[in-house]
Amino acid sequence: MTTAETIDLRRLEHAQREALIFPGLDKLRPGQSLRLVLEFNPVPLVHLLKARNEFAIAFEKEGPPDWILAVKRTSPIRDKKDELRAVLQELKGGGASEETKKKAKDFLASVDAKTLGLMEQELIREGISHEEVRQSLCDIHLEALKDSLVANQIEVSAPHPVHTFMEEHKVILQSLEDLSALLADLKTRKSFAEFGPGLERSKAIAHHLVEAENHYQREEEALFPQIEKHDITEPPSIMRMDHAEFRKRKKELYQVAHNPDGSDFMGFRAKVTELGDYLSRELASHIFKENNILYQIALQVLTPEEWDGVKAHCDKIGYCCFTPAGAEKSGDVVELDLRPLHPFERHDRIFDLWNALKPGQTLRLTNDHNPKPLRYQFEAEHKGLFEWTSEQEGPKDWIFAIRRVKS
């Protein structure tokens, strides 16, 4: 009986792990095995290897602190380079059939990131652009991951970071629905006069979409790095590319909506329609991928301690003006940054959050001016129910905490 080779991957960087795992697997002949030792649950690797239909997978130990995975080759190695070339050729024209998508999903499940990168470089030398390769494969790659995660769907409640992200997604999706309705109306209009109040609605929607920026910042700075520590690099990379494109389009939409003067209406209509159609379609698709793929991957691999770190980092960055009450709670503190809100929105937002507080909880506010009028209102209407603490008093920002002492 042949003794299986053991590779200890603990405490290695992502690139070092890949440099050991996949060459080791490629050397296996049918019937031979490789033992992998890791310090975390290798969920994505297991999904990938199972999808290849070339290996039998078994856990010898399922942590903590260590996981030992036994991988036995059951089928010969496929010619992956020719397979990728054929798949890309079929995807190249767009509008790929379900059969072609299945071929692409099977292929992506059969290769590691390093091997894929090397093959991409060869295709680039043959005249195919890097963007062309990524654009053809990234959505199908994510869809393949989704299929492997559905059976293990995990749900969380407030104040878990994923719950907050998903609640914010609901608000963003509502803005996209409003945008779609606006576009349907805009396409029937022939002048600014006909468009009427639609112009103000377009400004409000564009403003709301731009205000989602720190939602993306929290994902990119707090969540994605933790996912990448578990050797999961492709999904966060794809999401970052999406974010960059959305930022550009949302800023353009904001500029067009807020500066219509000097534009002819037909030019305005064409530009808003182009940007709005793109965002309505692509941003909604992006949110679906994050909710059903990226967040599920994170929930399966991050430890409770890592989630505590993500939450603390999110609290430090801050939340959107539209983050639902309760989702942004950190223990007994509810954070609200008033600066991005229009003045007419601030009053209702403050008192919605205040009224939802229980005794002992605190509403912590950041404002761009001295909150004396608000302090007077609390003294007049809520005397004896609160404690007011000033943490920063200008000159640019005022930060203050209002603690509910009783109902």
Separation of first and last alpha carbons in the chain:
73
CATH for 332-404 is 3.30.110.40
Question: Which of 12-26, 84-98, 104-118 tops mean pLDDT?
Answer: 12-26
User: What is d(CA 67, CA 60) in angstroms, rounded to the nearest whole number?
Assistant: 8
Query: Is CATH 1.20.120.520 correct for 168-317?
Result: yes
Mean pLDDT of 159-176: 92
Kindly provide the b/e burial profile for residues 6-29, where b requires at least 16 CB atoms within 10 angstroms of the residue's own CB: ebebeebeeeebbeebeeebeebe
Tokens for 216? 């993306």
d(CA 34, CA 41): 17
Please give the residue that has the higher pLDDT: either 56 or 122.
Answer: 56
pLDDT interval class at 80 (50, 70, 90): low
pLDDT bucket at 218, cuts 50 / 70 / 90? very high
CA 52 to CA 110: how far, in whole Å?
Answer: 5
Q: How far apart are alpha carbons 120 and 128 in whole angstroms?
A: 9
Q: Per-residue pLDDT tens for 59-72?
A: 999 888 889 999 99
Spatial contact of 63 and 40, defined as CB atoms under 8 Å apart: yes
CA-wise closest residue to 165 among 206, 216, 207, 210:
216
Confidence of residue 180 (pLDDT cuts 50, 70, 90): very high
290 close to 142: Cβ distance less than 8 angstroms: no
Helix (H) or strand (E) holding 126: none
Note the pLDDT of residue 91.
67
- Stretch 307-327: mean pLDDT: 80
DSSP 29: P
Q: Is the pLDDT of residue 202 over 90?
A: yes
Dihedral angle over CA of 145, 117, 37, 34, nearest 10: 100
Segments of 192-339 assigned E as strands: 329-330, 333-337
Lowest mean pLDDT among 29-33, 181-185, 276-280: 29-33
Three-state helix/strand/coil letters over 366-393:
EECCCCHHHHHHHHHHCCCCEEEEEEEE
pLDDT, mean of residues 287-295: 85
Asked whether the predicted pLDDT for residue 118 surpasses 90, the reply is: no
Higher pLDDT, 40 or 185: 185
Residue 237's alpha-carbon distances to 16, 131, 241, in angstroms, are: 19, 13, 6
Tokens encoding 152: 């293990």
Q: How confident is the model at residue 275 (pLDDT cuts 50, 70, 90)?
A: very high
Q: Tell me, what's the pLDDT at 269?
A: 94
Residue 385 burial (CB count, 10 A): 16
At 250-269, the pLDDT tens digits run 999 999 998 887 678 999 99
DSSP lists the bridge partners of residue 36 as 7, 69
Structure tokens at 290: 């994050």
Confidence of residue 1 (pLDDT cuts 50, 70, 90): very low
Q: Classify domain 5-73 at the CATH topology level.
A: Translation Initiation Factor IF3 (3.30.110)
